[in-house]
Structure formats: C-alpha cells, structure tokens
C-alpha cells in the first residue's frame, strides 16, 4: 500500500509556493523529487540522452545538464525534446545561454542572477522570458562561490551567509515580479548546510532543493547526504533532493531514492531486512542477503524480505515481512506473510525465496 504522505512520524511539509518543472510538481503539494546531473558532454546528444535514460530507470525525476558552451546550448532542444524526464539547464554566467535554454523548452534553468548582473545585466529580460514561457529558475548558492561581499561580512560561508546570499539573489528576480524560484544553499559540511536550510525555511516560502555539495566519494557522500537530508526532511524541509557523489550519477539517484524510501517519503519497492550476523549465525548471512537482493532487485511490487542468520530474531523478523527466511541447522524456514510455508535445505533458500516472491507478484497483478 502507498504510505500516507508525509508518514506520521515526520513533521508536515513546510508550506511553499508550487512550481512545475515540466510535468513534475515541486513544492509542498507534491512528493519530494530526486534529481541528478549528467556527466557527459552536453553537446554529445546521444551520450547525454543515454545517460538520462539510465538515470530515469534508476528512479530519477528531474535531470540537470551543464551548459558552459555554445555547442552545449545548441544541443538543448534535442535533449529537452527527447528526454523522458524534465531537463534543467545549468548556466553560470552567460545570459545568452539562459535565453537559449528557455527557447529550447528546458523545464527549468539553474542560474544565479548575481553572476548575470556582474557581466551583462539582463536579469529583467531573463525574468520576462522565463515568465512568458513558464520556466522556473533555481538559484543555487554554494559555499565555494559565495559572494565576496558576504564573505567579507561573515568571514566565511556560515549558514547565515549562505541564506542571506540566496535571499539576495531571489530578491533580484523578485524586484521584477518573478517568483517561480526554488533555492539551494549547499555546503560540504552537513551541519552548516542543515542550519542554512533551516534559516531559509523560516525566511521564505520558495521550494527548497537540498544538496550537500562536494560531499565526497560514494561512501562518505552517501552518509553525509543521508544525515543532512534526514534531519531536514524530518522537519518537513525540502522539496527536491540531489545527492552529489564523486561517483557515476546513477549511484546518486539510487542513494536519493533510498533516502526517500527510508523516510517513507517514496513508496518502497524491495526492502531487505537482513541481520548483521554474529557468532550465532548458522548460515553465511552476507552472501545470502546479497544473493537475495540481486535476485529480487527490480521487482515492481513493494516487498519486504527478511534474511536472518539464526533462530534468535529470525522467526520474529521473518514473520513481520512479506517474505522471509530464518536459518538454522543447515535449513531455512521460509515465511510468507507471517506463516511458515516450508522448510528447505540451505542450498535451496535463494531459489525458494525467488519462487515465492514471483508468486506474490503474480497474486498482486504485477507478475
């Protein structure tokens, strides 16, 4: 069953303005979405579309592509036109690429008006073009590129400095009556980042895009992002998330999806409840959990599968799950929806679980 949104243990979502990024709603009236960014050369349309397809299959809702050159800008109509999910163009300094992205039908543009103003002040024209076409804009403040004025005022990228910078940037559009904005304030330190978003949440009603920037390689970045997003989403803060990892973007999407599923903010599909193993284990739990995960990944029904190493907690957890195994004495007791359906020798545990999972999928109409 689809869980209630938000799950009862989380605070109600902070009330925000609502945006449409292509068909994907962003804001408190919509589920929290998962984003990532392609690593291909945007000008290479085929490679970029191929990577977007992989991200889509992994559960990505919105994808961002960098647009640092004229060749990249020229590729945007083909990419935006053929991508299965909405495409956001990421632009830093050149207003002409912002107009190109809006014309290309990109679902949104990430651009900081503060940067645009420094070179060629076309913020008013950008606001008009974005409004005419219904294209929202993300303002993205990063600790590494904080405005010199705020660095001087605060001494470093403090939470207050990040929030003030973002609100100042938003004000540059607001003065032209443009409010279709979402905001991010990213820092590599989750503690600073959490506070920056909390301040922002108190001071504006724009939807917030959560991210820990330069979070690091997969393991460290996953932990930092999970800690930071969990702390904010628990409070109802955050409307769309991007996990940044020094790893392929598909991994970012998998982590993002898993974070939302762990909080009950996205319906769970496969969930493996496996024990850490200990001196009592009578089966190789790690191997069994890995084999079961590999065999059942991609199943389209919500499935909670317990893989337990012995009879201490095994039967209890296995009973709570849709499907489970409690091992002992070279055998596995197989549970389906709380009932022991059979006991099989250890070598047949994985294949029996697969059979039973397929049967459950068939019963639910998704087989």
Q: By CB under 6 A, which span of 29-37, 52-60, 287-295, 308-316 interacts with ligand SF4? A: 308-316
Shortest Å, Cβ 280 to ligand SF4? 4
Question: Is the CA virtual torsion 178, 182, 184, 190 positive or negative?
Answer: positive
Q: Return d(Cα 85, Cα 246) in angstroms, integer.
A: 23
Nearer to ligand SF4, 245 or 275 (CB): 275
Start-to-end C-alpha separation, the chain: 17
DSSP three-state, residue 64: strand
Least distance (Å) between residue 317 CB and ligand SF4: 7
Q: How far apart are CA 56 and CA 128, in angstroms?
A: 31
Q: By rule CB under 6 A, what count of residues binds ligand SF4?
A: 12
CA 181 to chain centre: 19
Interface with ligand SF4 by CB under 6 A: which range of 203-211, 220-228, 232-240, 309-317?
A: 309-317
Q: How far is the CB of 341 from ligand SF4 (least distance, A)?
A: 20
Nearer to ligand SF4, 189 or 317 (CB): 317
Is cis: bond before 6, omega within 30 of 0?
Answer: yes
Answer whether 158's CB lies under 8 Å from 192's CB. yes
The residue with tokens 């607001």 is 174
Nearer to ligand SF4, 58 or 275 (CB): 275
Residue 57 belongs to what H/E stretch?
helix 45-58
The nearer residue to ligand SF4, 191 or 278, going by C-beta atoms, is: 278
310 binds ligand SF4 per the rule CB under 6 A: yes
Beta carbon nearer to ligand SF4, 238 or 309: 309
Polymer length in residues for the chain: 367
The rounded distance, in Å, linking the Cα atoms of 65 and 43 is 10
Of residues 159 and 314, the one with the C-beta less far from ligand SF4: 314
State the minimum distance, in angstroms, from the CB of residue 223 to ligand SF4: 22
Tokens of 80: 């935006």
Give the tokens for residue 159.
């939470």
By C-beta, is 226 or 288 nearer to ligand SF4? 288
**Contacts of residue 103, Cβ cutoff 8 Å, sequence gap at least 6:** 77, 133
Binders of ligand SF4 among 270-299, rule CB under 6 A?
275-278, 280-281
Q: Give the x-and-dash track for 225-264 against ligand SF4 (CB under 6 A).
A: ----------------------------------------
Ligand-binding annotation for 106, yes or no, is: no
Residue 275 is labelled as binding a ligand: yes
CB of 126 to ligand SF4, least distance (A): 57
Q: How far is the CB of 284 from ligand SF4 (least distance, A)?
A: 11
From candidates 312, 340, 348, 354, binder to ligand SF4 by CB under 6 A: 312
- Is 317 annotated to bind a ligand? Reply is yes
| Closest to ligand SF4 by CB, 196 or 310 | 310
307 binds ligand SF4 (CB under 6 A): no
Angle between the 218-234 and 190-203 helix axes, to the nearest 10 degrees?
30
CA distance 340 to 117: 68
User: Least Å distance between CB 313 and ligand SF4?
Assistant: 4
Residues 113, 98 contacting (CB under 8 angstroms): no
The reply, when asked if residue 278 is annotated as ligand binding, is: yes
- Separation in Å, CA 301 to CA 22, 291, 298, 352, 361: 27, 19, 9, 18, 6
Q: Per the annotation, where are the binding residues?
A: 275, 278, 310, 317
* Residues at the site binding ligand SF4, with contacts judged by CB under 6 A: 275-278, 280-281, 308-310, 312-314
Q: Per the annotation, where are the binding residues for [4Fe-4S] cluster?
A: 275, 278, 310, 317
């Amino acid at each position: 069953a689809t869980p209630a949104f938000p799950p009862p243990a989380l605070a109600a979502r902070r009330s925000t303005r609502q945006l449409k990024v292509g068909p994907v709603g962003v804001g408190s009236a919509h589920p929290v979405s998962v984003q990532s960014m392609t690593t291909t050369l945007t000008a290479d349309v085929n490679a970029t579309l191929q990577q977007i397809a992989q991200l889509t299959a992994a559960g990505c809702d919105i994808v961002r592509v960098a647009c640092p050159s004229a060749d990249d800008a020229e590729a945007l109509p083909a990419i935006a036109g053929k991508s299965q999910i909405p495409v956001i163009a990421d632009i830093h300094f050149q207003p002409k690429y912002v107009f190109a992205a809006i014309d290309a039908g990109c679902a949104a543009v990430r651009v900081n008006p503060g940067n645009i103003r420094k070179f060629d002040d076309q913020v008013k024209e950008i606001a008009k073009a974005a409004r005419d076409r219904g294209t929202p804009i993300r303002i993205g403040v990063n600790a590494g590129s904080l405005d010199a004025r705020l660095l001087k005022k605060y001494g470093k990228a403090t939470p207050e400095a990040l929030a003030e910078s973002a609100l100042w940037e938003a004000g540059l559009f607001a003065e032209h009556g443009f409010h279709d904005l979402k905001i991010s304030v990213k820092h590599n330190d989750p503690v600073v980042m959490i506070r920056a978003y909390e301040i922002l949440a108190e001071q504006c009603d724009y939807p917030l895009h959560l991210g820990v920037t330069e979070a690091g390689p997969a393991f460290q970045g996953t932990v930092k992002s999970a800690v930071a997003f969990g702390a904010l989403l628990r409070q109802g803060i955050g409307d769309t998330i991007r996990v940044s990892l020094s790893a392929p973007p598909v991994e970012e999407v998998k982590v993002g999806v898993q974070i939302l599923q762990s909080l009950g903010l996205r319906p769970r599909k496969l969930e493996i409840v496996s024990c850490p193993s200990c001196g009592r284990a009578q089966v190789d739990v790690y191997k069994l959990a890995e084999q079961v995960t590999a065999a059942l990944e991609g199943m389209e029904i919500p499935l909670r599968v317990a893989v337990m190493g012995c009879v201490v907690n095994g039967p209890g957890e296995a009973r709570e799950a849709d499907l489970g195994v409690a091992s002992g004495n070279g055998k596995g007791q197989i549970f389906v929806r709380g009932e022991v359906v059979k006991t099989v020798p250890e070598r047949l545990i994985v294949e029996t679980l697969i059979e039973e999972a397929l049967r459950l999928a068939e019963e639910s109409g998704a087989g």
